[in-house]
Amino acid sequence: MNTLDKDIIDNAVAAGYLATLSNAFRAAGLVGTLKGAGPFTLFAPTDEAFRKLPAGTVDGLLKDKVKLASILNYHVLPGTVLAKDLKDGDAKTVQGGSVTIASNDAGFTIDGAKVTRKDIESSNGVIHAIDTVMMPKQ
**DSSP of 9-20, one letter per residue?**
HHHHHHHSS-HH
Q: Measured in whole angstroms, how far is the alpha carbon of residue 125 from the centre of its chain?
A: 12
Which CATH architecture describes the domain 3-130? Roll (2.30)
- Model pTM score: 0.94
Compute the average pLDDT of residues 79-88.
93
Please tell me the predicted confidence (pLDDT) of residue 4.
79
Q: Is the pLDDT of residue 1 over 70?
A: no
Mean predicted confidence (pLDDT) in 27-55: 94
Spacing of C-alpha 43 from chain mean position: 3
Q: Say which residue, 55 or 105, is predicted with more confidence.
A: 55
**CA-closest candidate to residue 75, choices 6, 20, 133:** 133
- Predicted confidence band of residue 110 (pLDDT cuts 50, 70, 90): very high
- 16/96 Cα distance (integer angstroms): 29
User: What pLDDT does residue 3 have?
Assistant: 76
Residue 138 pLDDT level (bands cut at 50, 70, 90) = low
Q: Is the pLDDT of residue 106 over 70?
A: yes
